[in-house]
Structure 1
Amino acid sequence: MNKIPKIIHYCWFGNAPLPEKCKTNIQSWTRFCSDYQIMYWNNENFDFGVSPYMLSAAAHNEWAFVSDYARLFVLEKYGGIYLDTDVEIVKSLDEFLALDMFTGLEDFDSIATGLILGSQPNNNKLKDLMNIYDSKGANIQNNKFVRTTCVEITTKYFRAHGFKYKNKIQRVNNCTIFPTSFFCPQRPGTKKCQGQFKNVGFRQKEM
């Protein structure tokens, strides 16, 4: 029985047009997950007022950070799977739907929710992560935006719950964290391969 609903979420905030290469990636989602609902979040349909952090990020045009929070919010509300637009899939994601929550490593010590983040709705871990962001938004002084990446925040959170700096499958606080060979076979910023694809054919297209 599936715990995670068949929904793929993605975000594109700001005024820049969506690049053609991202449109191609999205086409791969509809090709291999044809029975999934695709939910597209943008300036028109997402309420930045749900969070002080979001209000600050949007006011400073920090759209990547807006996306960091938005993915947590929509997954907590609707459940599903979040993908960045620079991610292409080459196989169905159905095999992950029985999990409570899952994500992947971009390196042995870095959890990257932009690669993929799946969850059932009403997940307290997502609420915990949003609270961390909200505390940063509430503490902003002198109109300065706090630039802390989702990799830093998520890795630190799961580290406190038992995540080890090891490139292997780990189940931490009911979240399955997959090694680089699943979702990030190349080291970001290089052409160095960190492993072979396993079980699911999934790759990050832009390095």
Structure 2
Amino acid sequence: MKISIIMAFYNRQNLLDKTLESIRKSSVKDYELIIIDDASTVPLTCDEAKVIYVDKKDKWYTCSAVAFNRAMREATGDIIIIQNPECYHVGDVLKYAVDNIKDNTYLSFGCYAINRQETEAFHRGLMPIIYNHVVNSDGHGWYNHPTHRPVAYHFCSAIKRKDLDKIGGFDERYALGVAFDDDDFIRRIKGSGMNVKIITTPYVIHQYHTHFEMSSPSAWRIPHQRNQALFNMGYNPNTKVDYSRNTEFYPSDTPPWDVIKENYLKHYVDYDGDKTPRIPKKLYTMWLDGNVPQRNIELFDSWIANHPKWDFKIITKADLGYFKADSFIYQVLYKHGGVYIDPNFACAKPLDDLLYLDFFSGGRQADAKSPMPILSDKLIGCVPQNEFIRLAMEGREERNDKYLIDKYLSYIQSNTDKSVLFPDSFFYPMPGCIDAEISNYDSTAKIRIDTYIKPTTYCVYLWDIVKSPIPIVPHYVTDTRVHTPRRTNNAMSRRQRNRDRKEREEQDRKNRENNPQ
């Protein structure tokens, strides 16, 4: 069985070099080494590893869970060794893993920590003395041991790929805080029923390094408390995690992802050209049957609050005429331009800084590891008379995610307009598997949803928490105001009605001033 060794690295070149000495001594030679250089101040040099460099501007997180997940996605082995770069192998860890790993088993190798002086001596060739006690204030002792400290953390651990897929890697809700991602990881392993073993021989030596959170304890207190509170919410076996859906990145650099990424970099990440808005400030959504439930009113309110100067229209059956709903949306976008949003999106921030583009969208499967890109028409922004929208309308009978992505891939390779299919984090940061947890859309559900919001997130798709019903009577727009006919008032919140009334009064006042009798 092939082994993949994965590491998250930051500024520990000399410690890693020492660790690699021990790995090279293994009798197992069929392994790959994948290291995520997590925005080191001095980039990692390692010819024997596949090194993936994270640019500082792209590092939105503080917790290494994100980097480990990305390494997991790159790994191709049957056995995954998860370890820290400072953990030196004493004995043949790789051989032990090959000989002893079984299905539904997690091996955590004992980890003995040495202090600064011992590490300096170790690098001069002196092996440390191993004491049988938990790590103490001097920085030496057992970090992980079946008797002295049985935590089973991933200082160095082994798991089969298929079991890692079942666990899903690290929970990226911990990404913006400090610590507890390792506690959560092992809790989910145990909760899944896997057999956890802490191995005493072979084991690893944890070489001393400074801890960034110790350099300024007060600055890291809140991020630490954040993750502790998240961990203290408890274990929910229905909370699925999926390392392959690291939403800040595309799943691959190989075709067809390469051309999608090229457009993303050219027209968004590295773009320094004219950013004059081209897409009109028009928001469209759709509700086809019945009154709008309160939770959807709250979702609509989130868009209105973030886009106070935009037109907002809810398309209803009265608008459709003889058109099918999806065909009508495409007709509206092609004629008028703007942004269409599915009613199950919660807005996190304004879309204004995307309006210089000619077209943008996104898409993901609810939970699956999709090897192919998806363009979903649940959210589309475009200029009027956008050529891609025209091409998409040609196949209205077969229009689906596959049809759209095939059209899009063909289109961007033959056109130079600013079209971007964004990574999941922009519009779809949350997996569909948690829809049952957030179905009430109460304060607890909103806190849960917020954990998926990243700096790049404009909105969050809530999947199937709200199903039709959607209003018999249309909402309609003039200027920047949302108006609702009186007989649909039972569907509107009192706050929304008061806001509409005040806006009408203000507009009437301005009209009188501009047109005195």
Where relative contact order (Cα < 8 A, 6+ residues apart) is larger, the structure is 1
How far did 1:162 drift? 5.6
- Asked whether the equivalents of residues 91 and 202 of structure 1 are also in contact (C-alpha less than 8 Å), the reply is yes
Query: Corresponding residue for 2:334?
Result: 76
Q: Does 1:27 align with 2:301?
A: yes
Query: Corresponding residue for 2:387?
Result: 124
Q: Does 1:110 align with 2:385?
A: no
- Asked whether the equivalents of residues 425 and 457 of structure 2 are also in contact (C-alpha less than 8 Å), the reply is no
Residue type of the partner of 2:319? N
Which contiguous aligned blocks of 4+ residues in structure 1 show a shift greater than 4 angstroms?
A: none
CA distance in 2, matches of 1:189, 1:68: 25
Q: Are residues 198 and 112 of structure 1, via their aligned partners in 2, closer, same or farther at CA, if it must alter by over 3 Å?
A: farther
Query: Corresponding residue for 1:16?
Result: 290
Q: Are residues 187 and 200 of structure 1, via their aligned partners in 2, closer, same or farther at CA, if it must alter by over 3 Å?
A: closer
How far did 1:42 drift? 1.3
CA distance in 2, matches of 1:69, 1:153: 14
- 2:356 alignment partner, one of 63, 84, 98: 98
Residue type of the partner of 2:405? T
Residue type of the partner of 1:158? Y
Q: Are residues 102 and 172 of structure 1, via their aligned partners in 2, closer, same or farther at CA, if it must alter by over 3 Å?
A: farther
Q: Does 1:88 align with 2:88?
A: no
String of CA shifts for 1:82-117, please: whole Å, max 9, x gaps. 100000102111011110110012245211120x21
Q: Percent identity?
A: 20
How far did 1:154 drift? 1.3
CA distance in 2, matches of 1:119, 1:158: 13
- 1:160 alignment partner, one of 375, 398, 410: 410
String of CA shifts for 1:15-62, please: whole Å, max 9, x gaps. 3332322211100011011110002211112332xxxxx3xxxxxxxx
Aligned residue pair count: 167
Q: Are residues 78 and 26 of structure 1, via their aligned partners in 2, closer, same or farther at CA, if it must alter by over 3 Å?
A: same
How far did 1:149 drift? 5.8
- Asked whether the equivalents of residues 388 and 411 of structure 2 are also in contact (C-alpha less than 8 Å), the reply is no
Q: What TM-score, normalized to structure 1?
A: 0.71
String of CA shifts for 1:127-184, please: whole Å, max 9, x gaps. 1111111xx3xxxxxxxxxxx5632331222233468xxxxxxx98642100111111
Residue type of the partner of 1:206? W
How far did 1:80 drift? 0.6
How far did 1:3 drift? 0.3
* Correspondences of 1:159-198 after superposition (within 5 Å): 159-161=409-411, 174-190=418-434, 197-198=454-455
Specify the SS of the correspondent of 1:44. helix
Residue type of the partner of 1:85? P
Q: What TM-score, normalized to structure 2?
A: 0.30
CA distance in 1, matches of 2:335, 2:458: 28
The alignment yields a C-alpha RMSD, in angstroms, of 2.6
Specify the SS of the correspondent of 2:361. strand
CA distance in 2, matches of 1:67, 1:41: 9
Deviates more, 1:153-162 or 1:77-86: 153-162
How far did 1:198 drift? 3.5
Specify the SS of the correspondent of 1:106. coil
Residue type of the partner of 1:119? C
- 1:151 alignment partner, one of 392, 401, 410: 401
Residue type of the partner of 2:374? S
- 2:311 alignment partner, one of 14, 18, 37: 37
Q: Are residues 172 and 103 of structure 1, via their aligned partners in 2, closer, same or farther at CA, if it must alter by over 3 Å?
A: farther
- Asked whether the equivalents of residues 106 and 188 of structure 1 are also in contact (C-alpha less than 8 Å), the reply is no
